[in-house]
Amino acid sequence: MGNYDKEIQRRRTFAIISHPDAGKTTLTEKFLLYGGAINLAGSVKGKATARHAVSDWMEIEKERGISVTSSVLQFEYYGYCVNILDTPGHQDFSEDTYRTLMAADSAVMVIDASKGVEAQTRKLFKVCGMRGIPIFTFINKLDRDALDTFELLDQIENELGIATCPVNWPIGSGKGFKGVYDRHNEKVVMFSDTEKGTKEGKSWEIDMSTKDALVEAIGEEAYNKLSDEIELLDGAAAEFDLKEVQNGKLTPVFFGSALTNFGVEIFLNNFLSMSTNPLPRQSDIGMIDPLENEFSAFVFKIQANMNKAHRDRIAFMRICSGKFDASKEVYHMQGGKSMRLSQPQQIMADDRKILDTAYAGDIIGVFDPGIFSIGDTLTVASNKFNYEGIPTFAPEHFARVRQMDTMKRKQFMKGITQIAQEGAIQVFQEFNTGMEEIIVGVVGVLQFEVLKYRLENEYNVEIRMDNLPYEHIRWIDNKDEIDVAKLTGTSDMKKVKDMKGNPLLLFVNEWSIGMTKDRNKDLVLSEFGKN
């Protein structure tokens, strides 16, 4: 055991999730602003000359104004070391979001106050539910006209199935947004609108018991409405229970406007005091305690070509226990050998800082010469174990992909392979034939666009894609016990193999899956693969 308790305990590692356009990137930037990591907030969308959000670094993201990869951002804030994992907002990238949540200890869910719980919020929440991690809710955009506050809470409870506990309560919305009521301290926090990209705004507090001062500040109508709502709230809302929060059963709810900065600092302070330091993690030898074990980590993301000049590949690792020391060797479980991690770095979007040390809770990027895969475990040689694998989501869309120029087969295969290793696409080939036909499977169709864009821009390969009718895929769990070549399937079934040679079955119709199982009694199929 090293003397790194203090370093680990001051770490907070969380992911930010939301429906596209709920203001997640703006909120992320304001956290960085308060942490002193940036001096001026960027602009996510807008003219070509506008500043782009710090966390959106890939060219296609800048062009389209959406996040398609997860960025990692670290900053210091009043003694805490904060690691933010910013996830893709678009639902076509929910698999990347899931992997990122595997590396987080808690999640911040951003909801647009005028739209409430949206389809994507449900999907992402389900992903959080699979992990059972604590969820903190920030209801954003109160500077615009919002839905009724009780209605927003009902939506979260009914649609997401989690109890809510409002930590503060908004007074009005849109032009009538005056501030929030702090339930614990029984004070109203007022604010002045600020320059959008700075943190210079002023806020002040008025005690709820000083009626005259409050009426003067927010008006009699707003005061009466607030008094009624507080009474209702105290009778109806769930009691705050930190244990329930940390078990993912209760979400503390905060209100504010990331654009005008109001409520962001209140939220950040509360979140840091309520969330936990790095937690123990499941492995094949039991739970691994971050404080009681030497260095261990797992790979949750691989990103090629972060640096255009070098065409490099970065493996992102979540350190789960102990301290990382760049001068010492680590043991790569899947590779079966000891190694030094090359160019360990802390990544701030596409800026990098080479590291000598890092601790449990931190995310580090290391140069990957092509040896790491998502889900790999790294430990010290004296204590070997594997962290539980990260499930592979079943693709829902398939296309046959060919390079237009037959002379560029090598670049095409390199590009396809590298992008597949990042986990953005899954690549299949015909089973047991000499054909080198490539079939790509994706969770969301936007990933086809990203694939085309990246092959053209990063690998200089033009491709043609033909959509295939398959919608269902199954992994064969007992591939060693049966002869896959002799399987009796249905007319809409196709046998393929993945990059590691594992056999899979594609189906056009869902009912064909049951029929195939009936015809092959020993066949065991599963919906998830393992990385």
Question: Quick check: is 172 in a domain?
Answer: yes
Question: Quick check: is 8 in a domain?
Answer: no
pLDDT given for residue 359 in this prediction: 95
Answer yes or no: do 354 and 426 share one domain. no
Q: What is the CATH number of the domain that holds 471?
A: 3.30.70.3280
Answer yes or no: do 287 and 255 share one domain. no
Answer yes or no: do 230 and 95 share one domain. yes
Pairing of strands 313-321, 296-304: antiparallel
Range of the domain at 440: 391-530
> Would you tell me how many other CB atoms lie within 10 Å of the CB of residue 139?
26
Per-residue tokens: 3: 């003397």
Answer yes or no: do 108 and 20 share one domain. yes
Q: How far apart are the first and last CA of the chain?
A: 31
Q: What is the CATH number of the domain that holds 300?
A: 2.40.30.10
Scan for tokens 């070391």, then name that residue. 81
Question: Quick check: is 362 in a domain?
Answer: yes
Answer yes or no: do 511 and 404 share one domain. yes
Domain finish residue from 379, 412, 433 = 379
pLDDT given for residue 71 in this prediction: 62
Asked if residues 314 and 365 have their Cβ atoms less than 8 Å apart, the reply is: yes
For the residues of 60-86, what is the DSSP string, one character each? HHHHHT---S-EEEEEEETTEEEEEEE
Answer yes or no: do 243 and 190 share one domain. yes
Per-residue tokens: 420: 């597949």
Answer yes or no: do 69 and 217 share one domain. yes
> Would you tell me how many other CB atoms lie within 10 Å of the CB of residue 369?
9
Q: Which residues contact 214 (CB under 8 A, 6 or more apart)?
A: 188, 206, 208, 223
Question: Quick check: is 29 in a domain?
Answer: yes
Domain finish residue from 379, 414, 434 = 379
Answer yes or no: do 349 and 421 share one domain. no
Ranges of the chain whose pLDDT falls below 50:
1, 39-52, 54-58, 60-61, 64-70, 90, 92, 195-197, 349
Question: Quick check: is 7 in a domain?
Answer: no
CA 5, chain centre distance (Å): 27
For the residues of 253-264, what is the DSSP string, one character each? EEE-BTTTTBTH
pLDDT digits (tens, 9 = 90+) for 119-149: 767 777 777 777 788 999 999 999 899 999 9
User: Which of 72, 131, 55, 136 is closest to 98 using CA atoms?
Assistant: 131
Answer yes or no: do 270 and 287 share one domain. no
Domain finish residue from 251, 274, 297 = 274
Q: Which residues make beta-bridge pairs with 107? A: 15, 135
Task: Please tell me the total count of domains within the chain.
Answer: 3
Question: Quick check: is 2 in a domain?
Answer: no
Answer yes or no: do 195 and 103 share one domain. yes
Q: What is the CATH number of the domain that holds 54?
A: 3.40.50.300
Answer yes or no: do 115 and 207 share one domain. yes
pLDDT given for residue 348 in this prediction: 60
pLDDT given for residue 63 in this prediction: 52
Q: Is 111 helix (H, G, I), strand (E, B) or coil?
A: strand
Asked if residues 380 and 29 have their Cβ atoms less than 8 Å apart, the reply is: no
Question: Quick check: is 142 in a domain?
Answer: yes
Per-residue tokens: 260: 């005008």
pLDDT given for residue 517 in this prediction: 92
H-run or E-run covering 247 = none
pLDDT given for residue 344 in this prediction: 85
Q: Which residues contact 186 (CB under 8 A, 6 or more apart)?
A: 207, 208, 209
Q: Which residues contact 182 (CB under 8 A, 6 or more apart)?
A: 167, 168, 188, 189, 205, 266
Name the average pLDDT for the chain.
82
Answer yes or no: do 270 and 290 share one domain. no
- CA 38 to each of CA 10, 73, 194, 254, 363: distance values in angstroms, whole numbers, following the listed order: 21, 11, 17, 24, 19
Question: Quick check: is 9 in a domain?
Answer: no
H-run or E-run covering 96 = helix 94-102
Asked if residues 152 and 233 have their Cβ atoms less than 8 Å apart, the reply is: no
